[in-house]
Amino acid sequence: MLNKEKDMSESVMATDKGKDASESARCGRKLPLWLALPLLLVAAGLLAPLIYFTVRANSEACLDGLRAQTECQGLNQHLQRQLDQAQEVLHEKEAEAATCEQTVVTLRDSLKKEQARVEELQGELATLNQQLQDAWERLRGQSESSGENNGSSSYFLLFLLLPAALFVICKCLKK
């Protein structure tokens, strides 16, 4: 049995050696001409456009275009930042304008109220002036009918009414 195993291992080794020898013989062989020629044409066909596009990509015009594109991108970014800042300022100014408009509305309302109050006070002042004028006319009429003696008392009464009327007028104006 031992002999059989030895013989088998030797035959397997010989077969492996034979395979190795045939594979190395194949690797050392040349490609058939019918296969090499199309491969060479394909390689040349791919190499020519590669060289053409490489030369074209590194041409002065292409490099100028890349520089111009980079410059434009930088300029666009700068302009975008400026636009963003301008929009922020615009929003701030719009908020300020809204506040100012609200203030104007409030001031107009206050002005209308004050104008109504002034008209009311002017009406009261006109009434008081009319009352003072009427009192003056009555005193003058009494003074003429009573004579000189009562005239001094009429003037005394007028001097009492005049400060009271001025007091009432000033009080109305302060409101």
Residues 6+ apart with CB under 8 A from 161: 132, 135
Residue 154 located in a structural domain = no
How many Cα neighbours within 13 Å face the side chain of 111? 6
Residue 43 located in a structural domain = yes
Residue 23 located in a structural domain = no
Q: 145, 112 in Cβ contact below 8 A?
A: no
* pLDDT number for residue 169: 72
Q: Please give the Cα distance from 57 to 3 (Å, whole number).
A: 73
Query: How wide is the angle at C-alpha 169 spanned by C-alphas 164 and 173, nearest 5°?
Result: 150
* pLDDT number for residue 138: 84
* pLDDT number for residue 71: 94
Domain count, the chain: 1
Q: Please give the Cα distance from 106 to 97 (Å, whole number).
A: 14
123: containing domain: 38-140
* pLDDT number for residue 58: 78
Residue 175 located in a structural domain = no
Residue 162 located in a structural domain = no
Q: 121, 175 in Cβ contact below 8 A?
A: yes
* pLDDT number for residue 77: 96
Q: Return the exposure string of 61-94: e unless at least 16 CB atoms fall within 10 Å of the residue's CB, then b.
A: eeeeeeeeeeeeeeeeeeeeeeeeeeeeeeeeee
* pLDDT number for residue 64: 86
Query: What are the pLDDT tens digits along the chain (175 aa)?
Result: 555 555 555 555 555 555 555 555 455 567 788 888 888 888 888 888 888 888 787 788 878 888 999 999 999 999 999 999 999 999 999 999 999 999 999 999 999 999 999 999 888 888 888 888 888 888 888 877 765 555 555 566 666 677 777 777 777 666 5
Residue 92 located in a structural domain = yes
Residue 131 located in a structural domain = yes
Residue 32 located in a structural domain = no
